[in-house]
Structure 1
Amino acid sequence: MSRVIVIGGGIVGVTSAWALVNDGHEVTLLEAGQDIAGQTSYANGGQIAVSDSAPWATPSVPFKVMRWLGRNDAPFRLRPRLDITQWHWLYLFLLNCRGRALSAGTERNLRLATYSLSRLQQTRSTLGNEFSYDDSQKGIIRLIDSQKEADAARHYFAKNHKNEN
C-alpha cells in the first residue's frame, strides 16, 4: 500500500481519490476551500467530449494566436518574453501543428478521451445514486467562422469517426 495525496476536491480530484482508495492506496484529499467541488468544479464548463479530440496544436492556431495577442479574454494567451524556455516550447508547439504530429496528437487524445469516458461510465455504474453532480449530456455546439474551418472540421470528423455510424 502506498500513500497518495490528491490536490483539489473537484470532480477529477474526488473521483481520482475514490479510484485510488479502491485500488488499495491510503489517500489524503486536500481542498483549499471549505466544500468539496465548491470552487473549480462549481458551475464549471468542463466537458467530456470524445468526438472533440483534436489537440490545440492545429494549423490555424498560430494565426489565431497572433490575432489574440494582448487580449485578456483570449482562449490561448501568449505573452512573449525573453525566455529561451518559452521560445523552445513555442517552437515545439508549432512543429506539432502540422501533418503527422497533428494526426498522432489527435489519435492520442482520442484514445485518452475514450478511456476516460469508459472509466466515468464504470464509476457511474458502480456508485449509482451515490455519485451525482451537475451533468448534462446534450451535445456540443461548435461555432465555425469560415468555410476553410468548416471544411477542416468535416475532414477531421470524417477521418476520425468512420466507424461510429
Structure 2
Amino acid sequence: MNQKITNRTFIDACIANDIERVRELIQVVNPAAKSNAAIKWACENGYIEIVKILLADPRVNPGAQKNVALQLAIIEKHTEIVRLLLQDPRVDPSDRNNEAILTASRHCQIEIIKLLLDHPRVDPNVNNKEALVWARKFNNTEVIQLLTEYRFRLDGPIYNQNII
C-alpha cells in the first residue's frame, strides 16, 4: 500500500467525518502525518468521535504546533472538544503565555473560559492580565465578570496571597 496516498486518504476520511474509515485506516497509516493535520481538522470542525479516536492513539500529538488544535476548537466554539483536549496531558493550555484563555476571551467563549479557569496550568493573569484587557477593550461584560470573580474566589490567586 502506498503510504503517502494512504496518509492523504486518512486525512480525507477525518475531514469527511467518516468514522468507520478512520478506524480502519488508523491501523495502517501515520495518524500524525502532515504535522498532525487530522487532529487539527477534527478539532476545527467539531468531529468529537474522530477526536476521541485520534486522542487514543499515542502517535498523535494534539499539542503539536503550539496547541493549534486547541486554538481551533476554541475559535470554532467546540466546547466538548476543548474539554477532551484539556484532559489530555499532551495539550498545554498555558503554552504561548496562556494563549488559550486569551483566545477564549477575545471570542467571548464563556463556557470555554470556565473550563480553562478550572485547569491547573492556566493563569489568566499573565501578561498584565491580558485576557481581562481584551475583555474590557471589547466591552465583554460576562468575560470581565468571570475573570474578575476568578481572581477573588477562595482558591484564586488574590485570595491566597493574603493567607498567612
TM beyond 0.5: no
More helix per residue: 2
- TM (normalized to structure 1)? 0.24
- TM (normalized to structure 2)? 0.24
